[in-house]
Amino acid sequence: MSKQGSTSASFGLPEDIYGHAKRLEWIRAHLRAGDRILEIGCGTGYMIVLPLLLAGWDVLGVDRDEASIRYGQDLLAARNLEPQRLKCMDGADLQDSFDVVILSEVLEHLSDTAIAAVLSTAHRLLNPGGRLLVTVPNGWGAFEMEMFLWQRMGLGWLLATTRFDRVVCAVKRLLAGGSIGYDHPSSLDCSPHCQRFTLRSITHLINDAGFHVVERTGTVMVAGPLSNLLLTGVLSVMRANAYLGSVFPAIASGFMLCAQQAEDGQGGHS
């Protein structure tokens, strides 16, 4: 495998409680020198396309949200990168072929019909021996629980109204002495989650779409807006969080799966 971008730090992406830097490093570990990479549902490209481009990879990102693509193209142009590495289009309209297709935090937003279509598109666009890299949240994990408390139960509103969130951020900046968040959004599209995956169900879904899951692991143990507010920037906690996500993938806050096109009769993980 290529040595391009050998660590998360080399991408310039700081770690947070969600494990974004861990996810990026996991993706990099599945890339090979000379790979042509496609991210479907890239959003602004800030989390994956941009750091991969900066590290020298041949990558294209597509998304149907025009506002996110325009935002991302401005980010690329500001770094003297080709803005057209991000395109507002449906991946199904592509006629090229790729060695790697990335679906990161996408499938949970789609209907069953749309998931079948996007996995079919990925299968068609991949070169023989190519890899499909998928990340999704655990539909029954800590992230979804925190989002329920934060949005549905009004915890986020309460903390913002009392300005408790500002106090916490100020204390963390004082103690951490560095970044405790990201400068740009990953997407401007606020579409809700339509799916609740378990590690078993997402594995079956990918296998049933004509792929063979060859690796699966967890992201982090806890994640969400409350964890982010309290714990992002606390290095020891973030390291332990990422470690536990790998040790106990089935109950992690998110899953990461690598798959290849299945040969006839070839099964996958159950």
User: At residue 9, does pLDDT exceed 90?
Assistant: no
Cα–Cα distance for residue pair 258/148, rounded to 1 Å: 29
Tens digits of residue pLDDT in 174-198: 776 555 667 899 999 988 999 999 9
Q: What is the DSSP string of 184-235?
A: S-S-S--PPP---B-HHHHHHHHHHTTEEEEEEEE--S--SHHHHHHHTT-H
Tens digits of residue pLDDT in 48-67: 999 999 999 999 999 999 99
pTM over cut 0.75: yes
Local structure of residue 256 (DSSP, 8 states): E
